[in-house]
Amino acid sequence: MPRPGSKRSLSPYGRENNDGPRPKNSRPAGDSSVSGIIQRIKLEHFMCHEELDWEPNKNVNFVTGVNGSGKSSVLQGLVLGLLADSKHTKRYNKLQDFIQKGHSRAIVQVTLKNEGEDAYKSEIYGASITFQRTINDNGQSSVFIKDHKQNVVKKATKDAREEGKRILENFRINTDNPIAILQQEEAKELLKVESPENLYTFFQKATLLKQCIDQYSAAKTELEKTRNTIDAKRVQIRELGKQLTLKYEKLKELDKLKERDLEEERLQKEFMWALVKENRVEQEKLTSKMGQKETALENPKEKLKSLHTVKVQLDNQMTKQVDKAEQERGQYAREERELTELKIETERLKEEEKKIKADIKGYDSMRKTLDGEIRIMKEQLEQLSSSQNSKDKVKLAKERQKKLNKLEDSKSGINEEIEKKGTERDDIESQQDGNRKELEKIEYERKGCQRKVEHLESELAEMVGMGDQKLAVFDRLAPKVAEEIRSAAKRQQFRICPLGPVGSHIKLTAEAASNSALARLLETELGTNQVKAYLCNDDQDRRVLWDIFNRVYGGQKKPQIFTSKFLTRKHDVRRVERYNTVMDYLEITGSPQEATVIFNHLVDQKSIESVVVCKAQDEAKQICTFHQNVPRNMNYAITHDFNRFFPPTSNTSYRSYYIDPKTSQMLGANMSNKVEEKKSEILRTRTAMQEINANSEVVLRTKTNLKMQNDEIRSRITELRGRLAKISSEKSQLKAEEDSVDNMETVQDKLEEKKVEYDHLCELQDTKLNEKDKVGNLIKEKGSVFARKSKVVAKLRESTNPIEREISKIEGQISSKKKEISNQEKVVKRYQNEVAQLKRELKEKEGEEKRFLGQAKQKAGSEYVEPSGTVMQLNAKIKQIRETKKKSSKVVADREKLLEEYRVLKEQYETQKRKIANIEDHVKMMEDMNTARNDNYLFIRKTISNIIQRRFAMLSESFSRQFGTQIFININHKRRELNFIFKNSDGDAISTEINSLSGGEKSYAQMCLIASLWENMNPPFRALDEWDVFLDALNRKNISSKLLEFGLTKLDYQFIFISPQGASDIVCDPSEKHRVSIMEIKKN
């Protein structure tokens, strides 16, 4: 169903009802309207319109209708039909929101006039151009461009959009320009005229100055991009220049090859004859040296012969003296044995005498003790005989018992306190023992930390001194080992150069390198020993490498060496299907041969092809728990959280163990990472030292406190023991007094017993004294016999002393001669070995001479060539030429091909150079254009601002007459503000705030601003939506009359005014009625 509504025209053809088809607006033959005015708007299923077909008047159009009838939808359709985005409608953000509910698509057609001077491709499109846009419910839209016969000219949406943009630019139509189309929401905001900043933004968009600024900014951005392009091309041309220079050098090198061939041939001949010459010189040296050695050998031989003769003589003398000494010793051998027996007997008697003296001393001590006891008992008997003591005995006994009880109580209390203090002392001493052990442990840990810090700082200094050496990441001495290996390889000590460290040939994949836990897991699985290890082809190479380790590492721990033949083909491994293994996360670097050796080593040692890597333990449990789930060829599985899972066997179920992760990473690290890691380790160690020192201070304070407590307790115990001793003394005295009251018969019996014991002790002592005297006499007798016999033996020995001295002298001489003979034999043997070695060398040199001479005659001819240098010098020159040729042969194998490459590169270089120069000229031109564009923009902005300010002043004269106040606008570009200025009739400025104006006054001022902008801008049509929203009836009538008057004075342009308040107050001259149309849209 078509959208219900009615349209009435002020023209003679206008109809007051919508019965039957409505006639189109008449267009006189002398039509002067510009190209681009709207001839027709057709909407289908668009917003609230089922169908709307409207042909607006070419001059002034008023669209009315109640709220919700779809007035603004006509303007939305116009904007979207002219290819604008949904954001330009200021209504919806999504295109599908414009489709009428219950339908899947909406169609918008907008027909524009294409006649006059500004017509666009009139030979193709004819008198009109129709934009058709179909909006689908999926948010997509298609665009067609049709001619005046409604034939599609541009069907493809992309082509139609591009053509449509060109058409709109030709007609000067900008749907985002508020002067061309002022949307409903924008109109409401603008008509408030309360924000100078918003008014200035409106002024910029209306005058297209905003578009100029955007274009200028875009030009600056493009200019910056061009500069970046120039910089990039300069880098490229520098690289191209380097390649060109390299090609030129290679060409020069190629030209020198022929000269090098001749030079090598000449040097080769000289080298062969130099070998012969140097061999003969060495033979002469060997012959001369051998003669010197043989001559020198004669003297040691003669000397050795004379030494043997002297030694034989000394041996004969020694035999004679020994026989003579044996005869003399036989004469006093019996006396010496007797002297020895006397000495032993005397020593035994002295020991017996010593024991007897000790017994006598013991008896004397016991006798003195008994003597004292007897004396005390006699005194007691004297006291007991006194009558006074008998009378007071009972009284004294009671007093003594009372004192004894009191002393016993005191003693018990002191003993308890001593026992308590003793327990406290034992506890404190136990604590002191623990404290001492803890201090020893802390001191041990502190010294260990100190040594560790010193060692780490030493390593850090070495690492910092190494710079960014890659090998130092694996071992700080690895660069030195590598240098030693290279030197040994140059000396041809290795059959095949070793590889290592193994980690220097291993690189983590991107996935492993980006996951720190996975990287640490892989390195932990490989192991530090494997990462630092070296590989050798055979045992001989291993021994050479081990000698290098001994020189570099000394007594430090050395890397591990694995010896296995270097194969040329990788192992044929069996992969674990559907699961990632350690091998999948490793990339082996180096030459193909090196990569093969490293790969085979990791397969042999770590089985990297059969160790499955799982992200979680659940995944590992799933494949390791049951036999049937274990993947084929899997050895075991490891997880990202450092657990290792072994699958079940025939005897055991599956097992899992935690893996202790490595704290330091080497794979993928650089020297700066290792330096920072070492610094962190030093910091952690220093922090641990600080904690140990703090703990040590606490323990030392505890030690001091314990010592003070122990000293106090010991002092107290000493004091208590003193008191206890005093009490014991008092008790002994009281008990002694108590014992004295015993009866006289008991004391008399004890006294008799002591006397008997004393007499027996005296008898024993006398017996020991007699024994002592006997032993003493025996010792004296033995001593006198020993002295007498000693004198006899001494006299007998004096006869043999000269013989003993002579024997000793001869023994010394024999020993000296033996040493001299041994040394001389070594000298003779050394000379003989040297002569034998020289003979062997001379024989070898003679063989070499024959071989060298044959080679020289074969390669250089029979004619002798005088060498220009030594063998070493000539060999170095030949080697240098061959190395140069080897490098040259790799690079410049084909001169013609190289020459062609050089020409192509040179042409590319020159072309790029010209391009950069052209781009730089273009940039300079663009910079000049931007400068000129900026100047022109400032001039245009100033001109437009002045025109609009003057035009506003003219249009606002009626405002002055109506309100008695003049109103002007001031455009401040620096502050980006558009302000209204009010003056009284005398021209003086008054401080009237824009907020204080009524809605009608604000709207009037705004309409003056819009009209002044219309005067300056020239889009073919202008549309205002809800321009009278804030006006009362009187103001609306006045402003609508002004708008109608303005529109009728601009007959070349089209005006559309949308209002919800009807058009009953619109009155125009009858002669102008055909220029004005009113369309009323009715609400469903």
Task: Please state which of the ranges 654-668, 742-756, 912-926 shows the lowest mean pLDDT.
Answer: 742-756
pLDDT at residue 936 greater than cutoff 60? yes
522, 667 contact by CB (below 8 A):
yes
pLDDT of residue 41: 92
- Name the residue with higher pLDDT: 1039 or 692: 692
- Name the residue with higher pLDDT: 747 or 306: 306
Task: Please state which of the ranges 227-241, 367-381, 577-591, 642-656 shows the lowest mean pLDDT.
Answer: 367-381
> Confidence class of residue 109 from pLDDT cuts 50, 70 and 90?
very high
Task: Please state which of the ranges 81-85, 466-470, 657-661 shows the lowest mean pLDDT.
Answer: 466-470
Whole-number Å distance between alpha carbons of 861 and 874? 18
- Name the residue with higher pLDDT: 1084 or 1022: 1022
Average pLDDT over residues 423-442: 85
42, 1057 contact by CB (below 8 A):
no
pLDDT of residue 328: 66
81 by DSSP, 3-state: which? helix
Backbone phi and psi for residue 52, each to the nearest 5 degrees, phi listed first? -140, 130
Q: Between vectors from CA 190 to CA 189 and to CA 193, what angle results, nearest 5°?
A: 110
Task: Please state which of the ranges 176-180, 263-267, 625-629, 833-837 shows the lowest mean pLDDT.
Answer: 176-180
> Confidence class of residue 620 from pLDDT cuts 50, 70 and 90?
very high
pLDDT of residue 718: 83
pLDDT of residue 69: 82
Average pLDDT over residues 1041-1057: 79
337-350 pLDDT tens trace:
777 777 788 888 88
> Is 658 buried (19+), middle (13-18) or exposed (0-12) by CB count in 10 A?
exposed
- Name the residue with higher pLDDT: 260 or 232: 232
> Confidence class of residue 393 from pLDDT cuts 50, 70 and 90?
low
Q: Which of 457-461, 575-579, 859-863, 1033-1037 has the highest mean pLDDT?
A: 575-579
Average pLDDT over residues 534-551: 92
> Confidence class of residue 736 from pLDDT cuts 50, 70 and 90?
low
Non-local CB neighbours of 131 within 8 Å, separated by 6+ positions: 81, 82, 83, 108, 109, 110, 111, 112, 143, 144, 145, 164
Whole-number Å distance between alpha carbons of 699 and 439? 7
pLDDT of residue 682: 83
pLDDT of residue 958: 64
Q: How many other CB atoms are found less than 10 A from the CB of residue 28?
A: 7
* Number of helices and strands in the chain (H, E): 23, 23
- Name the residue with higher pLDDT: 600 or 156: 600
Q: How many residues does the chain have?
A: 1084
The answer, as to whether pTM is greater than 0.75, is no
Whole-number Å distance between alpha carbons of 830 and 835? 9
Q: Between vectors from CA 682 to CA 681 and to CA 684, what angle results, nearest 5°?
A: 65
584-606 pLDDT tens trace:
999 998 888 999 999 999 999 98
pLDDT of residue 5: 42
pLDDT of residue 888: 58
Q: Please compute, for residue 878, the number of CA atoms within 13 A of its CA located in the half-sphere on the CB side.
A: 17
64, 112 contact by CB (below 8 A):
no
pLDDT of residue 700: 84
Non-local CB neighbours of 834 within 8 Å, separated by 6+ positions: 293
283-321 pLDDT tens trace:
888 888 888 888 888 888 888 888 888 888 888 887 777
Task: Please state which of the ranges 463-467, 514-518, 726-730, 954-958 shows the lowest mean pLDDT.
Answer: 463-467
pLDDT at residue 741 greater than cutoff 60? no
874-922 pLDDT tens trace:
888 878 777 776 665 544 446 677 778 878 888 888 888 888 888 888 8
pLDDT at residue 504 greater than cutoff 70? yes
Q: What percent of the chain clears pLDDT 90, i.e. is strictly above it? A: 9
648, 626 contact by CB (below 8 A):
yes
pLDDT of residue 26: 38
Non-local CB neighbours of 815 within 8 Å, separated by 6+ positions: none
Encoded tokens for 368: 């003195």
pLDDT of residue 19: 39
Task: Please state which of the ranges 110-124, 514-528, 1025-1039 shows the lowest mean pLDDT.
Answer: 1025-1039
Per-residue H/E/C for 499-547: ECCHHHHEEECHHHHHCHHHHHHHHHHHCHHHHHCEEECCHHHHHHHHH
Residue environment code for 931-940, b if the CB has 16+ CB neighbours within 10 A, otherwise e = eeeeeeeeee
**What is the residue whose two structure tokens read 């041996």?**
315
According to DSSP H, which parts of 331-392 are helical?
Answer: 333-384, 387-391
pLDDT at residue 473 greater than cutoff 80? no
pLDDT of residue 599: 93
pLDDT at residue 786 greater than cutoff 70? yes
Q: What percent of the chain clears pLDDT 70, i.e. is strictly above it? A: 83
pLDDT of residue 24: 37
pLDDT at residue 7 greater than cutoff 60? no
Instruction: Give the distance from CA 949 to its chain's centroid.
Output: 66
pLDDT of residue 643: 93
pLDDT at residue 994 greater than cutoff 80? no
Amino acid sitting at position 1067: V
Average pLDDT value for the chain = 79
- Name the residue with higher pLDDT: 79 or 863: 79
pLDDT at residue 460 greater than cutoff 80? no
pLDDT at residue 435 greater than cutoff 60? yes
pLDDT of residue 195: 75
Average pLDDT over residues 493-504: 90
DSSP 542-573: HHHHHHHHHHHHTTS----EEE----SS----
E-strand ranges in 55-120 read 60-64, 105-113
Closest CA to 624 of 649, 646, 650, 651: 646
> Confidence class of residue 332 from pLDDT cuts 50, 70 and 90?
low
Q: How many other CB atoms are found less than 10 A from the CB of residue 395?
A: 9
Task: Please state which of the ranges 273-287, 401-415, 686-700, 1033-1047 shows the lowest mean pLDDT.
Answer: 1033-1047
pLDDT of residue 773: 85
The angle that helices 744-860 and 333-384 make with each other, rounded to 10 degrees, is 140
**What is the residue whose two structure tokens read 């005088």?**
866
Q: How many other CB atoms are found less than 10 A from the CB of residue 107?
A: 18
